[in-house]
Homo-oligomer: A and B are copies of this chain.
Amino acid sequence: MADKLCAIGQAITLSPGVELPSGENEHRLVYIASGAAKLLVQESPGTPRAGPAATSSGPARHVMGFHFPGDIVSLQRRGEGGSSLVALSETDLLVFSADEFLDVAQDDPAVLRSVLIKSLESLQRTRTRMMRLGHQTARQRVAGFLISMAKRLCGCTHGECEFVLPMGRGDIGDSLGLTIETVSRQFTDLREEGLLSTSGRSLVALPDIDALKNEAGA
């Protein structure tokens, strides 16, 4: 089974800032083997972005979320709300055509079922996150973001923790519906309260994740 799946998967390595080539207008499933990536939505369809210097600028970036090794991402390229995947660091991917994947998986209902369950769970998580975006303050969003990163990047859910954030403040802000400046100010506040410390731009340490959770709660 795994052999058959691997046979139709295409291994790709992306350098930081590079977008996964969009192939045809087909629905794809991407398994992230290593690295880190952000999932974007195309707001403006007319963004050629021909040059190699895709400095991630542009009129309206919209980061939907971040993905790390082990994640499976569904990439739908349906005109307006189409999504794309951009590497944050050196990233290894395994790309499947959704159709081919399902054809192969069809022989094994258990696989199909587990993918379905996984995607329903993902839906639930996204819903919960959506609801929160509508009702939380900047502080709660940033605290929640840090907790989530601690969990996903080094598996920590309690006590202290240290990790490298692969994305910049701008991407964090976009994913939380905040501006760069607001994210930075929240970082500063948390730093002054001893809930966070940083060195360089991307190394962060959380001395007390449980205390942070109090800040993230409603």
Contacts and interface: CB of A to CB of B under 8 A. Distances in A.
A106 B106 contact: no
Nearest to A107: B109
B124 A74 contact: yes
A58 B218 CA distance: 14
Interface string A179-212: 0000000000000000000000000000000000
A130 B218 contact: no
A144 B162 CA distance: 41
A19 interface: no
Given A43-B218, A113-B106, A124-B81, A62 B131 contact: yes
Contacts of A62: 131, 135
B127 A83 contact: yes
A94 interface: no
Per DSSP, are chain A's interface residues mostly helix, strand or loop, or mixed?
A: helix
Contacts of A83: 124, 127
Interface centre among A62, A98, A116 (most CB of B within 10 A): A116
A interface residue count range (under 10 / 10 to 19 / 20 to 34 / 35 or more) = 35 or more
How many identical subunits does the complex contain? 2
Given A43-B218, A119-B119, A124 B177 contact: no
Given A76-B120, A109-B106, A41 B126 contact: no
A6 interface: no
Contacts of A106: 109, 113
Chain B CB count within 10 A is highest, among A125, A130, A218, for A130
Contacts of A39: 127
A176 interface: yes
In order of increasing CB-CB distance, the 6 nearest A-B pairs are: A134-B177, A130-B130, A106-B109, A81-B128, A116-B116, A123-B123
Given A43-B218, A102-B116, 10 more contacts: A60-B218, A62-B135, A64-B127, A74-B123, A76-B120, A112-B113, A119-B123, A130-B130, A134-B176, A134-B177
